[in-house]
């Protein structure tokens, strides 16, 4: 018998040969539950109350299941909603009660509608062949060399995400490169680089403008309440250089890590493919995409929420028969289950006061305000990896704004920038969820990029904002 150095790999291979994957997954699930119960037992002794203890247990279990993939990620999302609904909606476990709709209602949240609108746009572009047109545009500008093409795709994504939804940007860019990914295969290093680099560029690129990411707007609003006005230009001075530099560094990281060289891809077949698309459908999609993007960019003037604007592609592409029932059935609904579960967990963490407990403990530490600000920046990117970055910013930004000057001004911006750089898990951001929904990525493929930004994002956010403060004030 051949022995392997890594016992975990040996176990996996032996289970696969015996067709006992179900046994391995079951044992992994039980192991995660056991570890979560042990950790929660010691946490319970702190005496925060049964509601906090229960949400802490669900959080630890969920993170463990997402990391180990004992069950599919979308199943973890359903499990979260089920556990929270059972715990707070019945009399069997907890005395604390919350309406079940608080957790099941995440299915109708703004993020879900935004994702669904993005899926419709992406599917419409695929049907009309516009995804290939966008890919052709990037190739014409950056060429067909692996490393340069990846750089072009990531920069195009980052710039676009500064003025429109990160989710919609990722949906369109991922759709445009899927023909290439399917051609070279999902095991290709270049495929991994594309599907990792595009969602990361969309998330990080969003820090470039106030409208690029929701945490940015939260920080600006919090500062306005204390009399500090940050203009659109002021934010770009901070966010744009940080976004461009981080995207470039991550491109170099992917290029080196995946050993992308100067290999030239043969894209002739993809670029010259004639889909013979119905001209009416093509024009209908182009008009729909244009109107949707314009509505997203002009939200400040018309006041229609971005999520509500998502009704435009859903309605128009259906009326024009571009998207039919068979296309809707093929949409990645499992991704919506995944995101809904993450949103429900974030709501529970806020409602029971677990997030506030963590922040209060940090503030009580006998350390300088400077170090507290650094902790805030690190905590922001860590928390945003397991819950909505909007929810994380909503919790951390107001607390950061209460710090003594100058950190009462700089810390909220630092937190917002860090929140937008969470890309460790598929559930960390809708952009990651879209890449994962292609079926070409596994959860472990996001980890290296997630760790990269966990380390560098707080450093760049802190350095950039403090430099801006010293110059501007």
pLDDT tens readout for residues 131-172: 667 667 777 788 778 888 899 999 988 988 886 678 778 887
Dihedral over Cα of 387, 390, 393, 395: its sign:
negative
What is the C-alpha to C-alpha distance for residues 164 and 296, in angstroms, rounded to an integer?
6
Residue 382, burial from CB neighbour count under 10 angstroms (0-12, 13-18, 19+): middle
What pLDDT, on a 0 to 100 scale, did the predictor assign at position 381?
A: 92
What pLDDT, on a 0 to 100 scale, did the predictor assign at position 242?
A: 95
Rg (CA), the chain: 23
What is the C-alpha to C-alpha distance for residues 395 and 418, in angstroms, rounded to an integer?
13
What pLDDT, on a 0 to 100 scale, did the predictor assign at position 277?
A: 65
What pLDDT, on a 0 to 100 scale, did the predictor assign at position 415?
A: 92
- Terminal CA-CA length for the chain: 69
92-122 burial, b for 16+ CB within 10 Å, e for fewer? eebeeebeeebbbbbeebebbbbbbbbbbbb
Question: Using one digit for the tens of pLDDT, what is the confidence trace for 364-392?
Answer: 777 777 888 888 899 899 988 877 677 67
14: helix, strand or coil = helix
Q: Which residues of the chain have pLDDT under 50?
A: 1-11, 14-15
What pLDDT, on a 0 to 100 scale, did the predictor assign at position 85?
A: 93
Q: Residue 157: CB partners within 8 Å, gap ≥ 6? A: 169, 170, 173, 198, 201, 202, 205
Give the predicted TM-score (pTM) of the model: 0.67
What pLDDT, on a 0 to 100 scale, did the predictor assign at position 274?
A: 53
Task: Give how far Cα 308 sits from Cα of 18, 315, 410, Å.
Answer: 50, 11, 32
């Amino acid at each position: 018998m051949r022995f392997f150095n890594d016992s975990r790999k040996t176990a996996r291979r032996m289970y696969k040969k015996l067709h006992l994957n179900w046994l391995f997954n079951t044992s992994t699930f039980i192991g995660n539950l056991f570890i979560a119960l042990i950790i929660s037992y010691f946490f319970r002794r702190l005496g925060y109350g049964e509601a906090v203890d229960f949400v802490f247990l669900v959080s630890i279990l969920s993170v463990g299941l997402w990391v180990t993939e004992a069950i599919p990620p979308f199943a973890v999302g359903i499990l979260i909603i089920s556990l929270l609904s059972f715990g707070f909606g019945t009399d069997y476990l907890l005395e604390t009660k919350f309406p079940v709709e608080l957790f099941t209602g995440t299915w109708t949240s703004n993020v879900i509608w935004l994702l669904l609108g993005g899926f419709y746009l992406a599917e419409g572009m695929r049907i009309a062949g516009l995804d290939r047109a966008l890919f052709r545009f990037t190739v014409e500008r950056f060429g067909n060399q692996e490393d340069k093409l990846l750089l072009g795709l990531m920069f195009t994504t980052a710039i676009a995400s500064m003025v429109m939804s990160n989710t919609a940007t990722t949906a369109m860019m991922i759709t445009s490169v899927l023909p290439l990914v399917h051609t070279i295969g999902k095991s290709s290093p270049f495929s991994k680089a594309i599907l990792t680099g595009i969602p990361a560029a969309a998330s990080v690129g969003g820090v470039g403008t106030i409208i690029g990411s929701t945490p940015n707007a939260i920080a600006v609003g919090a500062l306005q309440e204390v009399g500090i006005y940050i203009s659109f230009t002021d934010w770009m001075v901070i966010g744009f250089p940080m976004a461009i530099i981080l995207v470039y560094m991550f491109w170099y990281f992917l290029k080196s890590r995946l050993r992308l060289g100067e290999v030239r891809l043969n894209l002739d077949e993809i670029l010259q493919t004639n889909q013979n698309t119905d001209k009416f459908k093509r024009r209908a999609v182009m008009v729909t995409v244009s109107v949707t993007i314009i509505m997203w960019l002009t939200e400040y003037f018309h006041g229609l929420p971005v999520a509500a604007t998502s009704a435009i592609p859903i309605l128009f592409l259906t009326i024009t028969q571009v998207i039919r029932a068979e296309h809707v059935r093929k949409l990645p609904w499992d991704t919506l289950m995944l995101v809904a579960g993450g949103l429900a967990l974030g709501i529970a963490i806020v409602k029971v006061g677990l997030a506030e407990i963590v922040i209060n403990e940090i503030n009580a530490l006998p350390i300088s305000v400077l170090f507290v600000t650094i902790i805030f920046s690190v905590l922001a990117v860590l928390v945003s990896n397991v819950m909505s970055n909007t929810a994380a910013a909503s919790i951390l930004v107001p607390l950061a704004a209460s710090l003594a000057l100058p950190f009462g001004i700089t810390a909220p911006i630092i937190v917002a920038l860090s929140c937008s750089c969470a890309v460790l898990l598929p559930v960390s951001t809708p952009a990651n969820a879209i890449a994962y929904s292609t079926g070409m990525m596994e959860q472990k493929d996001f980890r290296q990029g997630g760790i990269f930004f966990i380390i560098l994002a707080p450093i760049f956010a802190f350095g950039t904002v403090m430099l801006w403060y010293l110059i501007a004030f």
